[in-house]
A and B are shown apart, each in its own frame.
Chain A
């Protein structure tokens, strides 16, 4: 089992640890509900060092990434981050990721921990004929997410840099606490906030400094439990639950990151599917009856089994039992009802628009 550079910090904080994507990770420190609410109302700090960082450089870097991802890369400017995906030839999802344009010929790809090896091999395989250098530096880099309405004020305690100049989905390479880090205005919670990348050996220095800086702002350490309920509420897909190599980008409700004007792996299949029309699609739902839906619970449409719940949980801010589910396209209209089997009994649920939560301003 792998550990992040902050493992000892989590143990000292009394975190409950679980195994996730081959890492021993904190699932909660005190209570998922408290941690979730802290992020919505004040701020939370997450260790997400398990995430993979793959660097792509060389004269064909942009051309290569443009080919293997579904969203636009070539037109990105230095200092921008963009949500993107690696499609298979069938248009299904190898992984979803963030692309950071570090320099004209240098990019950082932030990928799901469980997929880092698979993605790296995929990149190697597909890079034949392109002049690129691929480096998997995942184990050398920490990632700390500071999320919530107070995030900017907290991070400002440890840097003089004017953080308000970093707009949403942009980043800067800064020297903070004597160390070069990437500060990116991104996140997986639906709140304002930052993701900070730096050398693994400096992780606890940053964690501790931010924890101290956040004391006056009600900052709480938050685990993977709250990360999951926050992203679900905010309408974000989770790889492995909401999409994988059996679901296409269109079915996974990710057409917004499919750039039809460019050529890329899987485009043909996706175009064909778009023309023929989708047969099923990922939608949000909430329970009509009582009961908490969970990933893997059986779904019934018109009384017949139809797949499983993709994601499901009680979500603390909206105070509802919600989730994501694949439904036949004719059943994806808002208000359309279906059933979920919870402990042997069918419970009614209905389609609702995503996101379930949207921050103000």
Chain B
């Protein structure tokens, strides 16, 4: 269920690292908690974020949630498809439902993130 190659956070984001690019999304657990996602407020490309800052926000029918930057760096791409199809986050949280790509500023931060097995313990514990 949980992709092994990803990094995770305690606030339910995931990170996929390819070179200096980090793609960020929310986990399957997070999307199923939210359900019925109807709006993703994406950040501007070019914006710089610090690890732990609010990256973007997601609204479901019933609630509103904030997504935190799992790593620091510049946002170099956002998933424009979510403007018309926010439900992609529900349908494919690790794939088409990705949120942003961050250019890693400090790759050492990755060591502070959780492995798939640690994250599994967190959500099942």
Residues on A lying within 8 angstroms of B by beta carbon are: 27-28, 31-33, 225, 229, 290-292, 294, 313-314, 316, 321, 343
Contact = CB atoms under 8 A, between A and B. Distances in A.
A291 B83 CA distance: 11
Interface residues of B, number: 11
A295 B35 CA distance: 19
Contacts of B61: 32-33, 225, 229, 313-314, 316
A229 B36 CA distance: 13
A32 B39 contact: no
B112 interface: no
B59 A314 contact: yes
A291 B57 CA distance: 10
B57 A343 contact: yes
Contacts, number: 38
A32 B41 contact: no
B92 to A, nearest CB: 16
Nearest to A30: B35
A359 B39 CA distance: 26
B113 interface: no
Given A32-B61, A314-B39, 6 more contacts: A31-B35, A32-B36, A32-B60, A225-B61, A292-B59, A313-B61
B64 A32 contact: no
Most chain A beta-carbon neighbours within 10 Å: one of B41, B61, B64: B61
Interface in B35-76: 35-36, 38-39, 41, 57, 59-62, 64
A162 to B, nearest CB: 37
Interface of B: 35-36, 38-39, 41, 57, 59-62, 64
A27 B41 contact: no
A294 B61 CA distance: 10
Nearest to B86: A314
A343 B56 CA distance: 11
Nearest to A290: B39
A229 B59 CA distance: 15
A154 to B, nearest CB: 25
B69 to A, nearest CB: 16
A292 B59 CA distance: 7
Nearest to A36: B61
B81 to A, nearest CB: 15
B38 A292 contact: yes
Given A27-B62, A33-B61, A292 B39 contact: yes
Contacts of A316: 36, 61
B57 A32 contact: no
A31 B59 CA distance: 14
Contacts of B57: 343
A226 to B, nearest CB: 9
Contact of B38 (A27, A28, A314): A314
Given A314-B59, A343-B57, A292 B64 contact: yes
In the A-B complex, list the 5 residue pairs whose CB atoms are closest, starting with the nearest: A314-B38, A292-B59, A32-B61, A33-B36, A32-B36
Contacts of A32: 35-36, 60-62
A294 B39 CA distance: 13
Contacts of A290: 39, 41
12 contacts: A28-B35, A31-B36, A32-B35, A225-B61, A290-B41, A291-B39, A292-B38, A292-B59, A313-B62, A314-B61, A316-B36, A343-B57
Contacts of B59: 291-292, 314
